[in-house]
């Protein structure tokens, strides 16, 4: 086939393809934000390619006036505009070229706040707004924003009678100047009036414990929002309304009405999990969120795995401030069988937990336990009555998959033979987890666990009090609780002290998948005889709808047996 024939064939094929023409309006000479507003004003921009020519011409005749109107909110009142229209194309094409000219600037600005708001710190930033000062370019949006913020802030802080005594914006296009006169009279600030609670299933004192609202105090909508959040998070209510009855405001007070509907009272949960430490786990839970009108709760969990089988129960009683303080009676029974030990535990306990700051919890505890255990060649039974105190803090940008966060904790507990314990001991433990993101694809995770024990007779201490290392949450690359001091037969019997640290780097791969590199080091030990074991490896993480699922390959760097071990983890990072 000749070149001429090829050309004719291409033309013939091309003739069979539809040519898609598009209407086009070109705007030049202004910033994108201004251009967007011009297109919103221009009626021509809404016409399609198949519009009649007479209609396109009509729209084009109003294009310049519409553009002028669109420029004014940005302070341009004296633009030079040229426009063209082409109709001899497959589709109409129009262009508009704009020289916005000299902008209008604020000349005289009077922003006066009168009434009680004049001395309210919440309005201080509005008195010195940089966008509304002499010499600044006029922007109608800034002017309207100041007005709106004044009104909203006044409503939020209880200025029921607030109004604009004067509200003027005068523009002098020929002088390229604008004068503003805003006189805002807030009137008096109202106080919180009578608080009406609408519910019939909880003692009013319990509901009031969730409220930082008090009749006679200055009104602040932030307190109402916090009250709604606290009541909704309490677990007692399915629906909460916190309403300021401003239409009924009188004598300087705003009545508050809080309407609540009961939430789910009884909850059952069933779940299945897995980890290489404990194997496949079955879990069942029961929760009574509202046992009586005093807001008492019952929380119970049953867990079964090849390594650990146990049941726990808690009777929780809210105290003076139920958001931050509660008392618990706890009970637990468990059986744990590892390659290192067998241990049966029955425990009763008392807990008093309170928030001592926005992020810290403090818990006083008293536990009575009976434990039967086999560890190494020793078979024994021990009984303990143990008081303790613990502190816990969690800070994170979000609960699931945090980009930044930390978890800190410490506990001191101990007992003496004089109060009926099998032996005397004092034990202190501390723990820390830290997460930090770098860019959008990288995270670093670090953790440290440490503990120290002083005892009259270490052999009387059951496995639940001794320290072990190794496993998913300890030194990866080693079996669960396989590290620690050994007896004369080589059996791991646990240690008085513990020190374990971990550093992990995580990199986003694609979608919800992440790769990881880690190194762990540490051990359980007696006295100062610290001989850390090291594990390192890599991992794959999946951010599933149910939470993070992690699979690691751990290599026991310092062990004689250097077999790679799999570690499977489910659960939160902190």
**3-state SS, residue 271:** strand
Pairing of strands 93-99, 24-28: parallel
Residues 248 and 362 in one domain: no
**Calculated CA dihedral for residues 22, 26, 31, 33, nearest 10 degrees:** -40
Q: Is residue 453 classed exposed, middle or buried when 0-12, 13-18 and 19+ CB atoms within 10 A define those classes?
A: buried
pLDDT at 21: 58
Residues 503 and 543 in one domain: yes
Residues 423 and 553 in one domain: yes
Q: Is 194 in contact with 255 (CB distance < 8 Å)?
A: yes
Q: Tokens 């509005």, residue?
A: 126
Q: How far apart are CA 126 and CA 128, in angstroms?
A: 5
Of 125, 157, 185, which residue constitutes the final position of a domain?
185
Q: Is residue 249 part of a domain?
A: yes
Q: Which two three-digit tokens encode residue 538?
A: 């890599």
Q: Is residue 470 part of a domain?
A: yes
Strand partners, 446: 434, 503
Q: Is residue 437 part of a domain?
A: yes
- Number of domains observed in the structure of the chain: 4
Among left, alpha and beta (phi > 0; psi -120 to 50; other), residue 294 is alpha
Distance between terminal CA atoms of the chain? 73
Residues 395 and 490 in one domain: yes
- Cα torsion angle, 556, 557, 558, 563, sign: positive
CATH of the domain at 532: 2.40.160.50
Q: Is 365 in contact with 349 (CB distance < 8 Å)?
A: yes
CATH of the domain at 238: 3.10.20.310
Q: Which domain holds residue 531?
A: 355-570
- Closest C-alpha among 343, 355, 370, 433 to residue 396: 433
- Closest C-alpha among 266, 296, 325, 323 to residue 202: 296
Residues 438 and 459 in one domain: yes
Return the CA Rg of the chain: 36
Q: How far apart are CA 4 and CA 6, in angstroms?
A: 5
Q: Is residue 55 part of a domain?
A: yes
Residues 77 and 210 in one domain: no
Is pTM, for the whole model, over 0.85?
A: no
Q: Is residue 119 part of a domain?
A: yes
Q: Is residue 339 part of a domain?
A: no
Q: Tokens 């604009």, residue?
A: 164
Backbone angles phi, psi at 175, to 5 degrees: -95, 0
pLDDT at 399: 84
Residues 436 and 553 in one domain: yes
Q: Is residue 269 part of a domain?
A: no
Residues 119 and 140 in one domain: yes
Residues 201 and 131 in one domain: no
Please list the pLDDT of the chain residue by residue as tens digits (574 residues): 444 444 433 333 344 444 445 788 999 999 999 999 999 999 999 888 888 899 999 999 999 999 999 999 999 999 999 999 998 778 999 999 999 999 999 999 999 999 999 999 999 888 777 788 899 999 999 999 999 999 999 999 999 999 999 999 999 999 999 999 999 999 999 999 999 999 999 999 999 999 989 999 999 999 999 999 999 999 999 999 999 999 999 999 999 999 999 999 999 999 887 777 777 889 999 999 999 999 999 999 999 988 899 999 999 999 989 999 999 999 999 999 988 889 999 999 999 999 999 899 999 999 999 999 998 878 889 999 999 999 999 999 988 889 999 999 999 999 999 999 999 999 999 999 999 999 889 999 999 999 999 999 998 999 999 999 999 999 999 999 999 999 888 889 999 999 999 999 999 999 999 999 999 999 999 999 999 999 999 999 999 887 889 999 999 998 877 788 888 888 888 8
Residues 444 and 556 in one domain: yes
Of 151, 167, 185, which residue constitutes the final position of a domain?
185
CA 290-294-300 angle, 5° bins:
40
The total number of residues shown for the chain amounts to 574
Of 99, 114, 134, which residue constitutes the final position of a domain?
99
H or E element at residue 227? helix 221-233
Residues 156 and 59 in one domain: no
**3-state SS, residue 79:** coil
Residues 555 and 509 in one domain: yes
């Amino acid at each position: 086939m000749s070149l001429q024939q090829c050309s004719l064939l291409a033309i013939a094929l091309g003739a069979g393809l539809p040519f898609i023409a598009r209407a086009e309006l070109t705007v030049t000479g202004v910033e994108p934000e201004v251009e967007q507003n011009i297109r919103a004003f221009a009626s021509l921009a809404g016409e399609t390619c198949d519009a009649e020519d007479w209609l396109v011409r009509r729209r084009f005749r109003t294009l310049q006036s519409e553009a002028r109107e669109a420029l004014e909110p940005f302070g341009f009142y004296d633009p030079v505009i040229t426009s063209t229209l082409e109709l001899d194309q497959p589709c109409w094409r129009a262009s508009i070229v704009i020289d916005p000219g000299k902008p209008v600037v604020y000349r005289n600005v009077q922003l006066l706040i009168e009434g009680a708001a004049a001395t309210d710190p919440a309005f201080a930033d509005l008195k010195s707004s940089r966008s509304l000062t002499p010499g600044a370019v006029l922007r109608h949006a800034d002017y309207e924003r100041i007005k709106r913020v004044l009104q909203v802030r006044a409503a939020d802080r209880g200025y029921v009678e607030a109004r604009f005594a004067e509200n003027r914006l005068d523009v002098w296009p020929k002088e390229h100047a604008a004068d503003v006169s805003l006189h805002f009279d807030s009137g008096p600030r109202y106080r919180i009036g009578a608080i009406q609670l609408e519910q019939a299933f909880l003692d009013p004192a319990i509901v009031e414990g969730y409220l930082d609202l008090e009749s006679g105090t200055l009104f602040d909508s932030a307190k109402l929002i916090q009250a709604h959040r606290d009541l909704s998070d309490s677990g007692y209510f399915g629906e909460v309304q916190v309403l300021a009855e401003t239409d009924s405001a009188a004598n300087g007070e705003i009545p508050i009405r809080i309407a609540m509907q009961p939430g789910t009272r009884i909850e059952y949960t069933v779940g299945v999990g897995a980890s290489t430490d404990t194997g496949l786990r079955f879990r069942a839970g029961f929760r009574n969120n509202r046992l009586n009108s005093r807001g008492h709760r019952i929380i119970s969990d049953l867990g079964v795995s090849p390594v650990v089988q146990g049941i726990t129960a808690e009777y929780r009683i809210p105290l003076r401030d139920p958001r931050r303080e509660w008392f618990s009676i706890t009970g637990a029974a468990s059986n744990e069988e590892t390659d290192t030990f067998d241990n049966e535990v029955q425990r009763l306990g008392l807990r008093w937990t309170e928030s001592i700051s926005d992020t810290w919890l403090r818990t006083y505890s008293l536990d009575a336990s009976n434990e039967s255990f086999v560890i190494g060649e020793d078979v024994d039974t021990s009984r303990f009555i143990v008081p303790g105190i613990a502190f816990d803090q969690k800070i994170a940008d979000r609960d699931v998959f945090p980009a930044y966060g930390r978890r800190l904790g410490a506990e001191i507990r101990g007992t003496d033979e004089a109060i009926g314990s099998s032996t005397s001991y004092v034990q202190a433990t501390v723990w820390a987890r830290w997460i930090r993101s770098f860019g959008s694809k990288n995270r670093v995770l670090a953790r440290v666990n440490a503990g120290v024990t002083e005892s009259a007779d270490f052999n009387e201490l059951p496995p639940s009090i001794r320290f072990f290392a190794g496993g998913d949450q300890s030194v990866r690359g080693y079996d669960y609780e396989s590290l620690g001091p050994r007896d004369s037969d080589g059996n791991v019997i646990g240690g008085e002290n513990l020190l374990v640290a971990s550093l992990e780097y995580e990199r986003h791969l694609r979608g919800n998948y992440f790769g990881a590199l880690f190194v762990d080091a540490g051990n359980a030990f007696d006295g100062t005889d610290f001989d850390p074991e090291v594990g390192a490896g890599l991992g794959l993480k999946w951010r599933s709808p149910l939470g993070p699922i992690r699979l690691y390959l751990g290599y026991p760097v310092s062990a004689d047996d250097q077999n790679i071990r799999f570690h499977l983890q489910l659960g939160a990072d902190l």
